[in-house]
């Protein structure tokens, strides 16, 4: 059964790049297969564009910028809202596509479509509120102020774990600001990006405003980073690649936004009900099979409730079902590919070899070669890989701590600073720990923390800038200051 036959609208499945409003073949004949991580079957192929075709995308975005930026904000808003409506109308097909190429369970994929679409609606509206300022003048007979203007072409490079929402969170902000965009999705999950392009076209977003280029990642990124006409780069992905791109953007002094890795601590205070906290920790750890920058990677539990917490965690974890995301009642899909499984196994072996206890996790039960059964380790310590590296897998590591000062030190003992979770009802502890955590986002007594109104982003090696919220659009805006002099006598100046 082909992929398109699984969709009620087969035209959402595209095996081309999308440049200047045209579905584009690779001119060099290079193409790559895209696989269903659950079955290992090839879902389809995508072309790898040649260098001059990437440059052609920049030409198209440059030409389209002239007209797109000249539209009124409310006109751009209408087109973005039309795109939002189409995302909603095609939610089921978009979710199916995503589950097939990414592996996440269908309900999670539906949730991501909803989440991704919500950024389009949010920024459609925010585009109408890119206010400048009036500045009380210190110069006689002059009026001073600022105007917000779109930066220009934005290159958007995105990962495979959230194939749709990581694109809309960037593209909608950029497009609402008046920028045109060139999206380079992850090679593992291009079809969600291409479906977005199909729907953007149907929404009346003009040719050249939203482009999707495909190709060898390092080659494509080098061209986009070196292009002087590309004024902003927004990247979500690993810290390793983020550093590389930051360097590559130095020559053209681009605006760079980076959403990089996380290594979230999940802190449980001594006052917590161990069962309630354990169930929350399971939810925070195993979303997207652990392939989530917000995954609770280091679970730090007060020693007084540690054993009870571990018991409830293991019980809850045992109830998780692993399988093909298209099947009902599945909680965890496959990992993205075989290397991810090997990395997860190596992290578990490393921890055990250094003294961690394997409480649960039996890989013989895995339903296929890309699947990894949930693992629970206790006695995790600083010298283990699992402490420092994102496992990006359903591997939970628990560590006991004695007091607040110790847990703050433990939580901050990482190069990452994206998100942290804190479970306690003691308001003094909440305030002390919340302020001391070196993370861009802290969620207290809640697993869910993201959404359009939120400034999403990290500190330390987790990135630069914020996406979403009222400031997310600023990543794509320049502030132009003006001084209107020689006005004669200006009252109040």
Binding site for ligand NAD (CB under 6 A): 157-162, 166, 184, 186-187, 217-218, 221, 236-238, 241, 244, 259-262, 293, 390, 418, 458, 463
SS3 call for 284:
helix
Annotated catalytic residue within 101, 188, 201, 259: 259
Cα three-residue angle 290-301-421, rounded to 5 degrees: 50
Give me 443's structure tokens.
Answer: 């969620």
Tell me if residue 259 is catalytic.
yes
Cα-Cα-Cα-Cα torsion 74, 80, 84, 90, nearest 10 degrees, comes to: 140
Nearest residue to 13 (alpha-carbon basis) of 89, 93, 83, 107: 93
- Whichever of 249 and 272 has its CB closer to ligand NAD, that residue is 249
For the bound state, the minimum distance from the C-beta of residue 319 to ligand NAD, rounded and expressed in Å, comes to: 26
Give how far the C-alpha of residue 437 lies from the chain's centroid of Cα atoms, to the nearest Å.
22
Q: What is the DSSP letter of 456?
A: B
- Nearest residue by C-beta to ligand NAD? 237
Q: In this complex, which beta carbon is closest to ligand NAD, that of residue 201 or of residue 259?
A: 259
Q: Least CB distance from residue 458 to ligand NAD, whole Å?
A: 6
Closest approach of Cβ 33 to ligand NAD, in Å? 15
Least separation, in Å, of the C-beta of 325 and ligand NAD?
A: 18
- In which order are the strands placed within the sheet that holds 180-184? 22-24, 17-19, 210-212, 180-184, 153-157, 230-236, 255-259, 463-464
- 238 vs 304, beta carbon nearer ligand NAD: 238
Marked catalytic residue, from 77, 179, 249, 293: 293
Structure tokens at 445: 């007594």
Q: In the Cβ-directed half-sphere of 413, how many Cα atoms lie within 13 Å?
A: 17
Which is nearer to ligand NAD, 275 or 337 (by Cβ)? Answer: 337
**Nearest in space to 64 (alpha carbons), one of 203, 193, 207, 200:** 207
State the nearest-atom distance from the C-beta of 16 to ligand NAD, in Å.
Answer: 18
Q: Active-site residues: which are they? A: 259, 293
């Amino acid at each position: 059964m082909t992929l398109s036959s699984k969709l009620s609208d087969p035209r959402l499945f595209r095996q081309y790049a999308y440049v200047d409003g045209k579905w584009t073949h690779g001119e060099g004949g290079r193409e790559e297969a895209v696989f269903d991580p659950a079955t290992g079957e090839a879902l389809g192929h995508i072309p790898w564009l040649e260098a001059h075709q990437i440059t052609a995308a920049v030409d198209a975005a440059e030409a389209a910028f002239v007209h797109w930026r000249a539209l009124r904000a409310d006109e751009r808003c209408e087109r973005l809202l039309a795109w939002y409506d189409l995302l909603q109308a095609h939610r089921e097909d978009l979710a199916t596509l995503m589950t097939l190429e990414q592996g996440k369970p269908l309900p999670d994929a539906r949730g991501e479509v909803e989440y991704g679409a919500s950024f389009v609606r949010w920024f459609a509206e925010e585009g109408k509120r890119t206010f400048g300022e009036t500045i009380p003048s210190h110069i006689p007979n002059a009026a001073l102020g600022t105007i917000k203007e779109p930066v220009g072409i934005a290159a958007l490079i995105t990962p495979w774990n959230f194939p749709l929402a990581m694109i809309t969170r960037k593209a909608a902000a950029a497009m609402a600001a008046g920028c045109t965009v060139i999206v380079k999705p992850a090679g593992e999950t291009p079809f969600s990006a291409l479906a977005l392009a199909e729907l953007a076209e149907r929404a009346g977003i003009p040719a050249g405003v939203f482009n999707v280029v495909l190709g060898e990642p390092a080659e494509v990124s080098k061209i986009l980073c070196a292009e002087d006409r590309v004024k902003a780069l927004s990247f979500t992905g690993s810290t390793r690649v983020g550093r590389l791109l930051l360097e590559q953007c130095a020559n053209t002094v681009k605006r760079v936004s980076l959403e990089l890795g996380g290594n979230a601590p999940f802190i449980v205070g001594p006052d917590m009900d161990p069962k309630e906290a354990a169930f929350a920790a399971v939810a925070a750890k195993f979303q997207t099979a652990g392939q989530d920058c917000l995954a609770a990677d280091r679970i730090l539990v007060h020693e007084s409730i540690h054993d009870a917490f571990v018991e409830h965690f293991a019980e809850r974890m045992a109830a998780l079902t692993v399988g093909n995301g298209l099947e009902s009642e599945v909680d965890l899909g496959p990992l993205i590919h075989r290397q991810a499984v090997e990395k997860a196994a190596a992290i578990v072996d490393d921890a055990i070899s250094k003294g961690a206890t394997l409480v649960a996790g039996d890989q013989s039960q895995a339903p296929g070669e890309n699947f990894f059964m949930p693992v629970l380790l206790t006695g995790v310590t600083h010298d283990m890989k699992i402490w420092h590296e994102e496992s990006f897998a359903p591997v939970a590591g628990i560590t006991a701590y004695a007091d607040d000062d110790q847990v703050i030190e433990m939580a901050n003992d990482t190069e990452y600073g994206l998100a942290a979770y804190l479970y306690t009802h003691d308001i003094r502890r909440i305030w002390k720990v919340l302020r001391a955590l070196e993370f861009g986002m802290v969620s207290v007594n809640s697993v869910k923390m993201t959404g359009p109104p939120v400034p999403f982003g990290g500190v330390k090696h987790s990135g630069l800038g914020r996406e979403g919220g009222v400031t997310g659009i600023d990543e794509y805006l320049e502030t132009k200051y003006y001084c209107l002099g020689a006005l004669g006598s200006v009252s109040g100046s």
